[in-house]
Amino acid sequence: PFGGFILFRDNCCEPRRISSLCRQLWDTTLNTPPFLAIDQEGGRVHRLPSPFTHFPAAAEIGARRDRDLAYRCGRAAATELALVGNNLNFAPVLDVNSNPLNPIIGDRSFGNEPEQVIDMSSAWLRGLRDGGVIPCGKHFPGHGATEQDSHLALPVVTKSLDDLKAIELPPFAHACRNGIDALMTAHVRYTALDSNVPATLSERIVTGLLRHQLGYDGVVFSDDLDMKAISDNFTPQEAAARAVLAGVDALLFCHELPKAVEACELLCAEAEKEPALRARVENSYRRIMELKRRYLKSFTALTDDEILARLKAMNHQRIVDEVYGSL
């Protein structure tokens, strides 16, 4: 079985149907609960419909420079996700919005300076974690300097290594030092780090930089391998094998199920023949199971009436108003 599932806006109608879907997905595996993931950043990356709270974009929270408020926003988001059974959030964005022409990050970033991103994102993700939802920071080693959207093409960043260390990498290094549970890779090619392949498929970046230099042993997710930055340049099987050999633990195929099945079958077959690939898979399994044991102890969703009552009692709109009202 698959190790997890991700919900998009088309899967998120009214609360009852979301919680029912999450329950069915949870019940697909008897021994190992699945990740029930979502992209719930706030702002324009927002999946849960009304009556769930539409939280502000990271840039709005970052502009406040109020760690307590950032924490409360993350905690509130987590409590709402847990009401319907989501246990993993692909957030916060740790990218520094270093290029004003960037078409995909922008207000999804907590700020234009690494220190601001570190302060606000670390508080927000603590809130998310304290609310019982796994945070997954993204997009390592930084998507903020690109001039293209990796959903549509393969971006290339030509910054020097010194510039990357000064601007893009500090939020990820800080998150690694402070034990963030999961990180997601970027489908971006960084000429100073690996001129041949995007970060998701780069052993130099995932194993060399993230695992060895930054000392990270948490779970690493790929970004969606159906995105054109990858799918226009690699077959699903090639992308899957390269990502695992690079050091990625969990592969996302978010749009075409047959591609996920093909990739899984290939990895199973090749791992039987290739000791290096098998060792990578076993290491990934260890990390994934440790994360699941820490968080996925029971299914959290409530009944429809209970969800609506809880949302009303929480009144998280007051936190939203606090973010906007004091700028």
Catalytic status, residue 151: yes
Helix axis angle, 15-26 to 304-314, nearest 10°: 120
Instruction: State the greatest distance between any 2 C-alpha atoms of the chain, in Å, as a whole number.
Output: 60
Distance CA 303, CA 210 (A): 41
Q: Which of 149, 151, 163, 304 is catalytic?
A: 151
- Rg, C-alpha atoms of the chain: 19
Specify whether the CB–CB gap between 267 and 281 falls below 8 A.
Answer: yes
Q: Which of 39, 119, 223, 249 is catalytic?
A: 223
Whether residue 51 is preceded by a cis peptide bond, meaning omega within 30 degrees of 0, is yes
Distance CA 41, CA 214 (A): 25
> Residue 302's closest CA among 5, 7, 18, 19?
19
Catalytic status, residue 187: no
Catalytic residues: 151, 223
